[in-house]
Copies of this chain bind each other. A is one copy, B any other.
Amino acid sequence: MNKERKEICLSGSGGQGLILAGIILAEAAGIYDGFEVVQTQSYGPEARGGASRSEVIISKEKIDYPKVIKSDILLALTQQSCDKYIKNVSEDGILLADSTNVLKVPSFTGKIYQHPITDDAIKVIGNQLVTNIISLGIIVQLTDIVTRDAIKKALSARMPARIKELNIKALEHGFKIGEKLKII
């Protein structure tokens, strides 16, 4: 990471496990990679519209203002969340859109990556519930926002034994997709 402070917004709809993904990313950065981290969920009239988001701020320095100002990285798992939160992404930021659901990517000056993440969760891993974890794998591989070792440790620590293996598999599949997307 070059910038001192990186802001990540994980967005989609309720039930897609974005809060958990935010917590795992925050713990990877804060507990295993030694950064200062603030992880936030907001609820209000906006959230009740159906779009859901989880925000993570990762910094080398103490975080005095804990609100995401401009996202450096936006994950959008739905069209609605993509349309809504793209406005808050910095001009040279990164958008990762799940092309299973985001059929029309809004115009954006930064870097756009697209992959049918939900489709992969169902067809490759066999469980739609790991869409969030595949997404984390892609983000980490694309951006090096945290180390792969840290995200794997944070994921393992958060997952009950019976679904740990499935989730590690999903994460590693995410790494692979990220590697491919990087080359394109």
Chain A residues with CB under 8 Å of chain B are 19, 23, 26-27, 29-31, 35-45, 47-48, 62-63, 65-67
**Given A19-B23, A23-B19, A43-B29 contact (CB < 8 Å):** yes
Given A30-B47, A40-B41, 13 extra CB contacts under 8 A: A26-B41, A29-B43, A30-B43, A31-B43, A35-B43, A36-B42, A39-B40, A39-B41, A39-B43, A40-B40, A42-B63, A42-B66, A44-B62
Copies in the complex: 2
User: With the chains together, A170 CA to B134 CA distance in Å?
Assistant: 34
Residues in B whose Cβ lies below 8 Å from that of A27: 43
Determine if A44 and B37 form an interchain contact, defined as CB atoms under 8 angstroms apart. yes
User: Which of these, B19, B37, B43, B47, contacts A42 with CB under 8 Å?
Assistant: B37
Determine if A42 and B31 form an interchain contact, defined as CB atoms under 8 angstroms apart. no
Residues in B whose Cβ lies below 8 Å from that of A26: 41, 43
Sample of 26 A–B contacts (CB below 8 Å): A19-B23, A23-B41, A26-B41, A27-B43, A30-B42, A30-B44, A30-B47, A31-B43, A31-B47, A31-B48, A35-B43, A35-B44, A36-B44, A36-B45, A37-B42, A38-B42, A38-B43, A39-B40, A39-B43, A40-B41, A40-B66, A42-B63, A44-B62, A44-B63, A66-B66, A66-B67
